[in-house]
Amino acid sequence: MNATPNALCFGDGLPGAGVPCVAAVSAEGLRVSPMGESPLVEQGVAFAEMSVEAGGLDHDQLVVSWGTGSLARTLYAKDPALIVAFRRAAPPELTAHLDRAAKQVRRVRHSHRVLWGTVVGVVIGLGLLFWFGSDLIVEWAVARIPIEWEQKLGESVYQDFLSKETVLKEGPAVSAVQEMTQRLTDNIHDNPYKFQVSVVQSPVVNAFALPGGYVVVFTGLLKKAESGEEVAGVLSHELNHVLQRHGMERIVKMLGLAAAIGILLGDQQGLTGLAKQVGMELVTLKFGRAQETEADVTGIRLLSDARIAPDGMIRFFERLSEKDKARVEIFSTHPMSAGRAERLKAELAALPKRTPEPFTFEWKTIQDSLGASEPKT
């Protein structure tokens, strides 16, 4: 099919970021067709089989849902021509939903106008970007996004990602990661997050954190590390990306200030749309140099507070960067450099000297439980 996609389809068995598709309106309902090779199957959906609501940050997207269980599908469409055609063809019971959606759009847009009236100073302050840089505006926006909203966003992406992966529910590796997480989180002062850390079966040598306190550790990382302290170092770094709200800062930079304002207005459906929109981009998110440095410094300090040998993180990154940097996934999202290593060592040297307390597990036992480790490099 050579048509241009005018919608995104989501559901079980489909990528977290959605599948581009072509939606066409008929007298009976919608026909949804995939683009090229796709896990999405072409199907017709009768008006009687669907529910309709408004979505997106501005309530300007048509959201159509149908099916149940593993066959449940949700279609997001923003194309004006498709939305107009749908309104004309839809029966009265669906039109009523759309009328309410239109009122939502008008109400949200009115709220936006009111909000813009209150943030004129901020708009004027954009001129100060030439003096202070855009990071100040981003930090201002993120500081006003409630933690609860951040958690909802992160949880949506987290659950969607885990649903497509093999998650270890128990065993020595899971217990070890839980012990590391507990040691670290017990030493976070005024912690607003309830961290959830999952171990995912994958050869990928990496870990990542999502906004709201959701962290994934791949078994490839556990196999590659030479000690629990090395993994704890990576984990501490990821926890501090969350604590410093680096993920939300990147989202605001990606989507713009308007996205953050939509969330601030209490746009819950818009938040769902945002989660679908950013999807896998959050999983592969690359942080800026300043954010990596901040996570390094605060991560080292947290390790020290938890009485976990803080040099483990430095050893792990240095060892891998020297030997197989080109093929280790962790460097695609956490670039290592000589300057960064030196900053870590300087921060470590400035920390108060504390006697580390060993973990209760034996690292060889953990790796043996995961099967044959990769050859040492």
Instruction: Tell me the domains of the chain and their CATH numbers.
Output: 7-105 (2.30.29), 147-369 (no CATH)
Q: Which of 7-11, 299-303, 364-368 comes out lowest in average pLDDT?
A: 7-11
pLDDT at 128: 42
Report the distance separating Cα 171 and Cα 332, nearest Å: 29
> What is d(CA 63, CA 96) in angstroms, rounded to the nearest whole number?
14
Q: What is the pLDDT of residue 180?
A: 97
Which phi and psi (to 5°) does residue 52 adopt?
A: -130, 140
Region 239-252: mean pLDDT is 88
Residue 255 banded pLDDT, cuts 50, 70, 90: low
pLDDT at residue 116 tops 60: no
pLDDT of residue 328: 46
Enter the pTM of the model: 0.61
| CB burial of residue 122 (10 Å; 0-12, 13-18, 19+) | middle
The gap from C-alpha 75 to its chain's centroid, in whole angstroms, comes to 21
In a 13 Å sphere around the CA of 322, the CA atoms on its Cβ side amount to 10
Whether residue 64 has pLDDT greater than 50: yes
* Sheet order of strands, 207-210 included: 167-168, 196-200, 214-218, 207-210
**Residue/partner pairs of 343-352 with CB below 8 Å, 24 or more apart:** 343/293, 343/296, 343/297, 344/296, 344/300, 344/313, 344/314, 344/317, 345/314, 347/296, 347/297, 347/300, 347/301, 348/300, 348/310, 348/311, 348/314, 351/300, 351/301, 351/304, 351/310, 352/304
Identify the pLDDT of residue 24.
95
369-372 contacts, C-beta under 8 A, 24 or more apart: 369/171, 369/172, 369/173, 370/173, 370/219, 370/222, 370/223
pLDDT in tens, 153-172: 888 889 988 998 999 999 99
- Amino acid (one-letter) located at 308: I
21/98: higher pLDDT: 21
Q: Averaged over 328-353, what is the pLDDT?
A: 69
Output 55 or 76, whichever has higher pLDDT: 76
Which residues are CB-neighbours of 279 under 8 A, at least 6 positions away? 15, 16, 17, 18, 157, 160
User: What mean pLDDT, rounded, does the chain reach?
Assistant: 80
- Give me 159's structure tokens: 């659950």
* Band (361; pLDDT cuts 50, 70, 90): very high
Using pLDDT thresholds of 50, 70 and 90, give the confidence band for residue 360.
very high
**pLDDT confidence of residue 97:** 66
Higher pLDDT, 181 or 351: 181
- pLDDT over threshold 50, residue 327: no
Give yes or no for residue 146 having a pLDDT over 60.
yes
- What does the pLDDT look like over 119-137, one tens digit per residue? 544 444 444 443 444 566 6
Q: What is the pLDDT of residue 114?
A: 56
| Residue type at 63 in one-letter notation | V
Q: Is the pLDDT reported for residue 243 higher than 90? A: yes
Quick one: pLDDT at residue 61? 80
